[in-house]
Structure 1
């Protein structure tokens, strides 16, 4: 999925750099993500947090956000 439309940066590119040990600031400098309109910064930071070895809590925080969403609480959604 394209995260940064201005620079055409995908979540896979951001994740690959984060798994290589780069910080958000390093990735921003390298790929140009969140340097123009800034609308993608939150999403890009979430991807970095999910993929960083130093942030194992990120997936738990994401799961909590998903469970709070209206789509998750819909009666039409089958849950495990």
Structure 2
């Protein structure tokens, strides 16, 4: 799903960068998310939080209905 309409950035793009270890400010710089109208910032930050490689495994939602299942992290296998 498109999160940032201004830049046509999808939840999958944001999640991929977050899983690679980038934080929100890195992703914002790299992709340009939340740099124009700002309406997507909350959603983008939530995706980063859910999919961050730095977040503890317990923070990952395993119920696709909880986060919409679009970020790619729902149901991910535990790390470690």
The equivalent of 2:14 in structure 1 is 14
Q: Which has the larger radius of gyration?
A: 1
Q: Which structure's residues are more often helix, by fraction?
A: 1
State the shift of 1:53 in Å: 2.4
> What is the CA–CA distance in structure 2 between the aligned matches of 1:31 and 1:42, rounded to whole Å?
16
SS of structure 2 residue aligned to 1:15 = helix
Whole-Å separation in 1 of the counterparts to 2:16 and 2:25: 15
Q: Is the 8 A contact 2:20 2:53 kept in 1?
A: no
Query: Which deviations, in whole Å up to 9, do the C-alpha atoms of 1:15-70 show, x marking residues without a partner?
Result: 0000000110000000000000000000000000010122235445xx7xx5xxxx
Higher relative contact order (CA 8 A, sep 6+): 2
The normalised TM-score by structure 2 is 0.70
Structure 1 length-normalised TM: 0.70
Matched, 1:27 2:27: yes
Matches within 5 A, 1:55-66: 55-56=55-56, 57-59=58-60
